[in-house]
């Protein structure tokens, strides 16, 4: 895990993604300048933390790159009402898997 991010930060980010997506699906419209843009900046900070994580036999450069791009893509997509529930769930599970892997790996 990166020195700049904590387990709590990763879990809070995952919860916030779900919360924002649920609200968007229920018709909430987010204001870009005051709500979406600050969250995108936060998501880039989370992606940077992932970028700072050490590689290993499972967490390869290719995986790291995909996790980082999925984080930023999902952070934007979570605000779109028409974004596919199935795709959101798959992407959320993907980054969750790697967050938990890094948390577990680095706690040993």
pLDDT in tens, 37-81: 999 999 999 999 999 999 999 999 999 999 999 999 999 999 999
Confidence grade of residue 17 (pLDDT, cut at 50, 70, 90): very high
* pLDDT of residue 3 exceeding 70: no
Q: How many residues does the chain have?
A: 108
Q: How much is the mean pLDDT over the chain?
A: 95
Cα–Cα nearest to 13, from 52, 34, 42, 41: 42
Q: Which CATH superfamily is 7-107 part of? A: YppE-like (1.20.120.440)
Q: Where are the domains of the chain?
A: 7-107
Annotate 5-15 with b (16+ C-beta within 10 A) or e (fewer): beeebbeebbe
């Amino acid at each position: 895990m990166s020195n700049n991010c904590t387990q709590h930060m990763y879990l809070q980010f995952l919860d916030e993604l779900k919360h924002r997506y649920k609200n968007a699906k229920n018709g909430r419209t987010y204001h870009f300048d005051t709500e979406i843009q600050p969250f995108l900046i936060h998501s880039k900070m989370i992606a940077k933390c992932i970028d700072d994580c050490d590689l290993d036999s499972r967490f390869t450069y290719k995986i790291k790159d995909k996790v980082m791009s999925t984080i930023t893509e999902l952070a934007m997509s979570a605000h779109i009402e028409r974004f596919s529930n199935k795709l959101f769930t798959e992407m959320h599970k993907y980054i969750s898997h790697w967050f938990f892997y890094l948390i577990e790996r680095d706690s040993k």
